[in-house]
Amino acid sequence: MEALLEGEQVELSSQKWLRADEAYPELVALARAKTGEFVGRLILNRNVKVEQLPENVDPTTLLAAVQNAALGDEQSRRLVEVSVSTDLSERMFKSQNETVVEFDVVDGHLMQNGRRNTDVLGNTFRYSTLNGVMFGINKSEQTNAHTFDLLLQNGVLDTHDALVASATTTDTETRKRYNLFTETDTMSLQLLRKEGNKAVLETAFVAGKTTVDGPRHDTLAIRAVAVRNGIDFHEMPEEHLVQFVMLIPKGTLPNGVTSIIEQYDDAVGGTFYGEAVPRQNYAEFSKMCRNRDFGKMTADITDKIIADAHIFKNPMDPLRELDKLSGAAAVTYAVKNSNIDERIFGSEAARIIREARTALGNGDAEFAIELTKNAIAIETSISCPLLDGELASRYGTDEYGSLAFECPDGHVNVRNPGELKETCDFCKISVRC
C-alpha cells in the first residue's frame, strides 16, 4: 500500500478515475452552497417549535409512510418494509455485507417512492442533535446528495459512476456517544450507477482493521486504490474522507461495487471484505449478501409498526419502535445463527448470546429462550444515528429516571423499575449518584 501511495512504479489505468471536486469544481461548490443554505436555515429556525398535525407530517419521514400504510397505501407499506429490512441488514452485518437501493431519476433528481433523496437525508439535521464530528459527516453526506443530482443534471452520470468512501471516525467521544461498532471500524463504499431513468446505489461494508486492537488499514487501502486509478487524496482525519466523490468511467467495474472491494482487499494484502479470513468467490458472495432474506422478521416488524401508527406523535416515534423491535429480532436471529457477530449487541449481551447458543445446541430450548430474553433486555445494537442518547426511550423510565444508563466506563446497565444499582454489572465501578 505505501508503495502505491508514494507513487513507486504505479501503473495507471487507461481509463482514469476523476475527483468530482477537481473535474467539476463549480458543481461541487454549488452543492456545498445548497447544503450550507439548508443547514443555516434550520439552525436559524431551531428555536421555533412547530407542532404538526398528522395530516401535515413531513412526507419525507418514516412517520408519514407508516401513517399512509395504516390507511391502506401499498407503496407506503413497501417503503416501511424497505426501512425495516435495511435496518436488520445493517444492524447485523457490520462488514462482509452489501445492500442495494433503487432510485427513480425524475427531472434530474434521485427519487425513492416520491421522495427526493436530498430531502430524506435532510431529516438527520431536522430531527436530531449532532456533535461536531457527526455534524461534519452528515453535512458532507448532504452535499454529496446534492452533488449526485447536479452530476445527473449535467450528464456526468451518463458516462461515469460515482463512488464515495466513508470511514469510521477515530474521535473517542463520538465513537462512544453514537455506539459505533469499533471492533471492525467498518468503512462503507457507496457506488451510484445511473441506468436509463433509474439509478442504483450499491453499498458495501468492509472492515477497517483485521483485529480489534490492530492498526487501521481502511484509509490507506482506499487511497491506494484511488492512486492506482489515477487520483489521490491528501492525508486527513478518517471522517473527512466522505467529502470526496470519485467518478469512475462506466464499464470499468464489471461487478459494480464488488469490483471495488476486490481492489480494496488487494491493497490491504489479501483480506476478504477487509477481514483476515479466506477469500471466497466475490460474485457469489455478493449475490448471497444481496439476497439475504429477513422476510418473516421484516413482515412482523412492519405489521407492528403500522398497527401502532395511531400512537406516534412525532417523526422520532416510529424510529424508536423500529430500533426496539429490530434489536429484539436481531438478537433472536443471532442466537440461532452463529454467523452473526454477537459483539454488535454489546459485550454482556454477546456473552449471554453465546450461552444461549450453547443451550440451544444442547437441546435446552427453554433455557435458551430465557437467555435470549435477558440478552434482548441489555442489547445495545443500533443502525440509526438519529437515536443518539435514546437509551431511556428504548428501555423506559421510572421515578428515578431511565431504566438504562451507562457507567463512567461506558458499559450499558439496565435496572428493574423502582430499584437502584450500586455498581456496574460489568466492571463493578460505583454508579451511585
47-51, 368-372, 424-428, range with the lowest pLDDT: 47-51
HEC string for the chain: CHHHHCCCCCCCCCCCCEEHHHHCHHHHHHHHHHHHHHHHHHHHHCCCCCCCCHHHCCCCCHHHHHHHHHCCCHHHHHHHHHHHHHHHHHHHCCCCEEEEEEEEEECCEEEECCEEHHHHHHHHHHHCCCCHHHHHHHHHHHHHHHHHHHHHHCCHHHCEEEEEEECCCCCHHHHHHCCCCCCCCCEEEEEEEEECCEEEEEEEEECCCCCCCCCCCHHHHHHHHHHHCCCCCCCCCHHHHHHCCEEEECCCCCCCHHHHHHHHHHHHCCCECCECCCCCCHHHHHHHHHCCCCHHHHHHHHHHHHHCHHHCCCCHHHHHHHHHHHHHHHHHHHHHCCCCCHHHHCHHHHHHHHHHHHHHHCCCHHHHHHHHHHHHHHCCCCCCHHHCCCHHHHHCEECCEECEEECCCCCEEECCCCCCCCECCCCCCECCC
Q: Which amino acid is at 277?
A: V
Question: Is pLDDT at 382 greater than 60 in this prediction?
Answer: yes
C-alpha distances in Å from residue 257, one per residue of 4, 108, 229, 266: 21, 23, 15, 14
**Predicted local confidence at residue 294, as pLDDT:** 87
Assign 214 a pLDDT band (cuts: 50, 70, 90): very high
pLDDT, position 271? 97
Phi, psi (rounded to 5 degrees) for 39: -65, -40
List pLDDT tens digits, range 6-37: 433 334 345 899 999 999 999 999 999 999 99
Look at residue 140 and tell me whether its pLDDT is greater than 50.
Answer: yes
Give the C-alpha separation, 3 to 6, whole Å. Answer: 5
b or e along 124-135 (b: 16 or more beta carbons within 10 Å of the residue's beta carbon)? bbbebebeebbe
388 confidence band (pLDDT: 50, 70, 90): low
Q: How far apart are CA 364 and CA 104, in angstroms?
A: 50
Q: CA 44 to CA 354: how far, in whole Å?
A: 49
pLDDT for the residue numbered 148: 98
Reply yes or no on whether the pLDDT at 134 is more than 50.
yes
Q: Return all residues near 325 (Cβ < 8 A) that are at least 6 apart.
A: 301, 304, 305
Please check whether residue 218 is in contact with residue 238, taking contact to mean a CB–CB distance below 8 angstroms: yes
The pTM is what?
A: 0.80
Q: Cell digits for 347? A: 459485550
**Counting beta carbons within 10 angstroms of the beta carbon of residue 211, is it exposed (0 to 12), middle (13 to 18) or buried (19 or more)?**
exposed
More confident residue, 401 or 176: 176
CA distance 120 to 145: 10
Residue 103 phi/psi, 5-degree rounding, is: -125, 155
Distance between CA atoms of 121 and 105, rounded to whole angstroms?
Answer: 17
Q: What is the pLDDT of residue 51?
A: 36
- Report d(CA 178, CA 74) in Å as an integer: 33
Inter-axis angle of helices 25-45 and 132-153, nearest 10: 130
pLDDT digits (tens, 9 = 90+) for 104-132: 999 999 998 888 999 989 988 887 778 88
pLDDT of 163-209, one tens digit each? 999 999 999 988 888 878 889 999 999 999 999 999 999 999 999 99
